[in-house]
């Protein structure tokens, strides 16, 4: 069984995507009375038309997550127009920590998949609150950022999105690092197709595009849900897919004591391996800038905990 903690727009969309793939039964939990149950019914009606026979249930009781192999954490406040992901830190940390403890109590063998923003810091919060080994706590940001980078590049180059092989690492935020040096269009290096200015424009467009969606419709929903389902499949079906996601680092890329987006292999036990890539000086600078931002956020979080 796969659990989803938080039945708001993104949690419900993630449950829909996961259930539609027929990966496993899905249990939605939310503190708002009736919300998770209503979403579960709506999803189940769609599954009937698809002919997909998995059970989707909803509850306010975290004990319904008992036995889950994977729990998606989508509880918390979403970004409003004009907000950065980091603006949500204090409020969402206060939500995610107790939610994670409830999940860990009822699904102690599960893998945790963090969706809530600021995702990297809250992946760290979930790791500490759960007491789980680092391999069983992962955050979704890099794969989502990469889908946006692919969109931007395909549009700029006039090619099929399926032709783009790219990677985005680092902070899931304003300091994300789209890796032009590791991006290819069906084997052709991006650096031979676009000049440095054009590449930088594509990178900046990728960094800003989520805020543009939020300004226009209030929330990003469909792409995050799709990304979570893809990661869920890698974990539940033990596919060993290599993709960019947030993991706790202990020296990789010269960073320790925080969660950041890196290429990693996902399987039934969660994170199986982290891959280190050679970065350009500019890419390394952006990666380190993101690390500095996350380090400061974690320090502020600890100060707030001590003062509280």
Q: How many helices (H) and strands (E) does the chain have?
A: 8, 14
How does pLDDT run across 175-220, given as a tens digit for each residue? 999 999 999 999 999 999 999 999 999 999 999 999 899 899 988 9
How does pLDDT run across 85-95, given as a tens digit for each residue? 567 788 899 99
How does pLDDT run across 38-52, given as a tens digit for each residue? 999 999 999 999 999
Q: Which residues does residue 270 pair with via DSSP β-bridges, in sequence order?
A: 267
Confidence check: pLDDT of 293 > 90: yes
**Six-digit token pair at 146?**
């990469």
Catalytically active residues are 172
| Gap between the Cα atoms of 89 and 96, Å rounded | 10
Which pLDDT band holds residue 305 (cuts at 50, 70, 90)? Answer: low
Domains by residue range for the chain, with CATH: 2-140 (3.40.50.720)
Answer yes or no: are the C-beta atoms of 225 and 14 closer than 8 Å. yes
**Six-digit token pair at 268?**
């039934």
Q: Could you give the angle at which helices 281-307 and 119-130 cross, rounded to 10 degrees?
A: 50
- 112, 126, 130, 119: which is closest to 88 by C-alpha? 119
How does pLDDT run across 67-115, given as a tens digit for each residue? 999 999 999 976 667 666 567 788 899 999 999 999 999 999 999 999 9
Which pLDDT band holds residue 306 (cuts at 50, 70, 90)? Answer: very low
């Amino acid at each position: 069984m796969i659990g989803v903690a938080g039945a708001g727009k993104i949690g419900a969309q993630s449950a829909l995507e996961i259930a539609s793939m027929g990966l496993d039964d899905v249990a939605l939990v939310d503190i708002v009375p009736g919300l998770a149950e209503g979403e579960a019914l709506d999803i189940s009606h769609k599954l009937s038309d698809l002919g997909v026979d998995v059970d989707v249930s909803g509850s306010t009781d975290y004990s319904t997550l008992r036995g889950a192999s994977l729990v998606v954490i989508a509880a918390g406040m979403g970004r409003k127009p004009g907000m950065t992901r980091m603006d949500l830190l204090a409020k969402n940390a206060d939500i995610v920590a107790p939610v994670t403890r409830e999940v860990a109590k009822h699904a102690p063998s599960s893998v945790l998949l963090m969706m809530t923003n600021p995702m990297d810091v809250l992946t760290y919060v979930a790791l500490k609150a759960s007491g789980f080994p680092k391999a069983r706590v992962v955050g979704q940001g890099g794969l989502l950022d990469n889908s946006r980078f692919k969109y931007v590049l395909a549009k700029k180059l006039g090619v099929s999105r399926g032709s783009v092989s790219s990677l985005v690492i680092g902070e899931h935020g304003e300091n994300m690092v789209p890796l032009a040096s590791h991006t290819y269009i069906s084997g052709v290096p991006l650096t031979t197709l676009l000049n440095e200015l054009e590449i930088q424009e594509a990178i900046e467009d990728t960094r800003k595009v989520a805020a543009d969606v939020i300004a226009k419709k209030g929330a990003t929903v469909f792409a995050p849900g799709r990304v979570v389902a893809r990661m869920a499949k890698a974990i539940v079906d033990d596919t060993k897919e290599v993709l960019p996601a947030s993991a706790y680092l202990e020296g990789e890329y010269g960073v320790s004591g925080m969660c950041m987006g890196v290429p990693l292999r996902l399987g039934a036990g969660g994170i199986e391996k982290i891959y280190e890539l050679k970065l350009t000086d500019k890419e390394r600078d952006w990666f380190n800038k993101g690390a500095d931002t996350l380090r400061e956020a974690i320090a502020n979080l600890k100060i707030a905990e001590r003062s509280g």
